[in-house]
Amino acid sequence: MHKTIVPILILTLAALACGRSTAPTETPPTAPTVSIPETLQADCGAGEICKELVIRGDSKSTLPDVSESPFSGYADPTIRQGDDGVLWLSYSWPHLKFENRRPVPSVDIHLAKSVDEGNTWDFVTTLFTATPIANPATPSQEGYLDYEVVNLLPATVNGQTTWFGVTLNYFVPEQGGMALRPSDSFHIRVYQANSPADLTNAPYAILGGGVTNPAWNPVQSLIPDDMSAADKQSFFWNEPSLYFENGALYLIMVAFNLGNRQDISRDAVYVFAAAPDGEPDSWQWEYKGKLLGYEEAKMLGATRLTQVDVVRGKNGDLLLIASPDDWNTEFGDYNHKGCVALEIASLEEPSLKKDASGNLLVRAKIIDSQANELGSAACSYDPNSATGILFTRRNKTQESLTASLWQTFVQP
């Protein structure tokens, strides 16, 4: 199975000395070579290259009559190893709630673990569940606080092991469901706890974007300094990821611009950082810069990059795992074009690594050739897991969304 994951690019440049020799017997010096890291790839829609991940003790959601649900599966993974060698996996668990026999799409966040390097996985707990609330911005509107995405991160802070978490949250009304989520309800929550399972009841901070309603009580609104004045007033944060280094906790997020959603070229990935001392709601987030945008996405045949994850690779390289996207005008939705792993030059001064010709250093590429017009994506990676990069295969239509997690065995 692993042998079918083939490197698609190994490029070696040789500089040859030229000019007149002063002696015909003179041996030219050995030319130096520059090696560009190989790009690994897997097509999870072809044969048996990838393998579906099984989580013992956690079944996909079903309808009340136990038949298959049109909104179900596992998606949006994060995989991380703790200092005890245990691998932890968080993931979205889409399902339908029923209010007065009316289905309301909802998302919970589940947690699983592996004690054998990722070869087998067992369900541990529900980290976060959709909670009935009234919309703080419109108190007469009943619905749910949803947790769509989570990203986990273990770190050693002041000599102590700790776990950070970050979620994307928004309000889902009982009437209208996901399609009528208020844009001004989108916000980010950052948590800190002693273990992944403790994140459920951990202290957290609410962080807002350009359109987040003050009724959600964000402790800080994170607005990129170099974003245009108009865009600052018309975006929300999405797809958050965390990374810790040299005492700084980095928060990497995608800004979704609300003006003309069909033009997603203005969506970009930005970096903030804080010193995680004290309770999360006391941390002061500092803007570091824009990591990538439309120009980088174009190099990958896309309009933007989203669904970000940041991790060190097998050789210590800092990697950005992300999903290239464009817009499907026929279906009026995003077309996910698989996942890529790109080398990061710096988060402190955000930039991606490029070769001498200005090309991105693409370390891995995952696709699903059997996906429909809206594609598959959403990946995570820990080099200590036998799974390699985890990939979400999905089947999204106007009436349904089903998803599953797949092991690619790709290990950049």
Of residues 361, 292, 362, 297, the one with CA closest to residue 327:
297
pLDDT in tens, the chain (412 residues): 443 333 333 333 333 233 333 333 444 444 343 457 789 999 999 999 999 999 999 999 999 989 999 999 999 999 999 999 999 999 999 999 887 778 888 899 999 999 999 999 999 999 999 999 999 999 999 999 999 899 999 999 988 999 999 999 999 998 888 889 999 999 999 999 999 999 999 999 999 999 999 999 999 999 999 999 999 999 999 999 999 999 999 999 999 999 888 899 999 999 999 999 999 999 999 999 999 999 999 999 999 999 999 999 999 999 999 999 999 999 989 999 999 999 999 999 999 999 999 999 999 999 999 999 999 999 999 999 999 999 999 999 888 899 999 999 999 9
- Domain at 40-407, CATH class: mainly beta
User: What are the extents of the domains in the chain?
Assistant: 40-407
Contacts of 66 (CB under 8 A, 6+ apart): none
349: amino acid identity, one letter: E
**pLDDT score of 399:** 85
Distance (Å) of CA 17 to CA 36, 197, 267: 21, 61, 46
Tokens linked to 296: 């980088």
Contacts of 65 (CB under 8 A, 6+ apart): none
Question: What one-character-per-residue DSSP string does 8-46 give?
Answer: ---EEEEPPP-S--SSTTPPPPPPPEEEEPPPEEEETTS
Conformational region of residue 289, where left means phi above 0, alpha means psi within -120 to 50, and beta covers everything else = left
Q: How far apart are CA 386 and CA 121, in angstroms?
A: 11
358-404 pLDDT tens trace: 999 999 999 999 999 999 999 999 999 999 999 999 999 888 899 99
268-280 pLDDT tens trace: 999 999 999 999 9
Contacts of 50 (CB under 8 A, 6+ apart): 42, 44, 391, 406, 407, 408, 409
Q: How far apart are CA 101 and CA 98, in angstroms?
A: 5
Q: How far apart are CA 392 and CA 167, in angstroms?
A: 18
Whole-number CA gyration radius for the chain: 22
What's the per-residue H, E or C state across 184-207? Answer: HHCEEEEEEECCHHHHHHCCEEEE
- Whether 184 contacts 158, CB under 8 Å: no
355: amino acid identity, one letter: D
Of residues 330, 307, 315, 284, the one with CA closest to residue 403:
307
The β-bridge relationship of strands 131-135 and 138-157 is: antiparallel
Angle at 169 between CA 168 and CA 172, to 5 degrees: 135
312-341 pLDDT tens trace: 999 999 999 999 999 999 998 999 999 999
**pLDDT score of 326:** 95
Could you tell me which residues are beta bridge partners of residue 81? Answer: 87
Distance (Å) of CA 67 to CA 64, 77, 393, 402: 7, 25, 21, 14
- Whether 390 contacts 50, CB under 8 Å: no
Contacts of 40 (CB under 8 A, 6+ apart): 5, 6, 7, 8, 363, 364, 365, 410, 411, 412
